[in-house]
Amino acid sequence: MKIKETLAELSNLRGVSGAEAEVSSYLADRLEEGRFEVRVDSIGNLLVRKGRKKGKKLMLSAHMDEVGLMIMDFEKNGLLRFRAVGGIDSRILVAKRLRVGIHALPGVIGSKPIHLQKKGEQDKPFREDSLYIDCGFKNHEEAAGYLKVGEYATFDVKCAAISKNAFRGKAFDNRAGCLVLLSLLLEKNSLSFDAAFTVQEEVGTRGAQIAAYTMEPDRALVVESTAAADTPETEQELSSTILGQGPAISLMDSTVMVDRQMRNELTVAAEKAGIIYQYRRFTGAGTDGGAIAYSRSGVKTAVLSVPCRYIHSPHSVLYESDLKSTIDLVRSWLDTQQ
């Protein structure tokens, strides 16, 4: 699989929580070309099986959805009111370009310009309520002719290489994980596993709950993107993960206590295959791990992440080398489980 091209394609797709169809169709097309039978369940998870049906049931999972905005109301003058879907820092929203609604209309997030701000206003960041989406509509009626309340907006960003190894783009959380799974499904290997591309992770790990219930795996590995905080203001011991140091093995997060045995299997698999890895040195924030681990009578679950700077913003940065070594580590672990 062409990693750079696929990452760009996945990243550019629009798929905010609850509206993942574009991502799901793209993945389904690629998988059907690869002669896979895919299934979409009631909530929208894309489920696929690779290899034989016997033996230990291994589940790989990656969520397809990204954070974004939802149109909540139209102002008389045609500006749009919105709310964030998933965890977005409202301070990063000002002046960002958007694609709005099912027709991907161009738009921008507007705010009161510096000239008109009163004394003191400049000291406070804009909140959602003081921001609006501007698609150039003349008035309420025109806006309502193009859009309905409840439609989504995504960051208008095209994925690009910014150095030999680094990429900048939106939605790496978690199209990077989708890419890892897709790569392992499409490459030539004799591995057997079930894959779930899940929906609605960013609004509370909802799709994974249903996927895990359906799949009834014996073991699950969640492939994610996690915050790298290897930036100057974050001291090294608190940096969570570092770009270029390979896939990050989670210890725990707010949803799951990672199975100790599986964590060891991952480190052993990494060392055996000569893959550098790191631990995710942060225990907060949630993943699909919890929804899967505590499904039915319990599932041994681990979480592996591609380190990624500035997630949940229009421009995340990741290293291709981390992406590749994450694929290698998942493959190497799957090998030990066959």
Partner 1 sequence: MEKILKTLTELYGPSGEEETVREKILELVGKRADSTFTDQLGNLFVLFRGNAPKILISAHMDEIGIIVTNIDENGFLRLAPLGGLSPSILTGQRLRFKSGLIGLVYHEKINDLKELTWPKLYLDIGQKSRSEAEKVVAIGDLACFDQPFVSVPGSRFLAKAMDNRAGCAVLVETISGLKRPLPQEVCFVFSVQEELGLRGAKTAAFGYEPDYGLAVDVTRVGDTPKADNMAVSLGLGPAIKVKDSSVITHPLIRRFMVDQAKNLNIDYQLEVLERGGTDAGAIHLSRAGVPSGALSIPCRYVHTPSEMVDSADLENAVNLLSGLLRVPWPAVTEGHL
Question: Rule CB under 8 A: which residues touch partner 1?
Answer: 236-238, 251-252, 257, 260, 263, 279, 281-284, 290, 293-300
How many helices (H) and strands (E) the chain has is answered by: 8, 17
Q: Is 336 helix (H, G, I), strand (E, B) or coil?
A: helix
- Report H helices in the chain: 3-12, 21-33, 140-146, 172-186, 206-215, 260-272, 289-293, 320-337
CA distance 326 to 280: 14
Of the candidates 161, 172, 136, the one whose C-alpha atom is nearest the C-alpha of residue 64 is: 172
Complex with partner 1: residue 191 or 251, whichever CB lies closer: 251
Closest contact distance (angstroms) between CB of 180 and partner 1 is 22
Query: Based on CB atoms, which residue is closest to partner 1, 273 or 285?
Result: 285
Q: Is the CB of 163 or the CB of 254 nearer to partner 1?
A: 254
Residue whose CB is less far from partner 1, 122 or 236? 236
Taking the complex as a whole, how short is the minimal distance between the CB of residue 266 and partner 1, in angstroms? Answer: 11
Q: Which of 155, 197, 184 is nearest to 311 (CA)?
A: 155
Shortest distance in whole angstroms from residue 167 CB to partner 1: 27
Q: What values do phi and psi take at 334, rounded to 5?
A: -60, -40
- Do the beta carbons of residue 85 and residue 123 sit within 8 Å? no
Residues known to be catalytic: 201
Give the type of residue at 15: G
Instruction: Tell me the residue type at 97.
Output: R
Which CB, 37 or 237, lies closer to partner 1? 237
For residue 292, the minimal CB distance to partner 1 (Å) is: 11
In whole angstroms, how close is the CB of 41 to partner 1 at the nearest point? 20
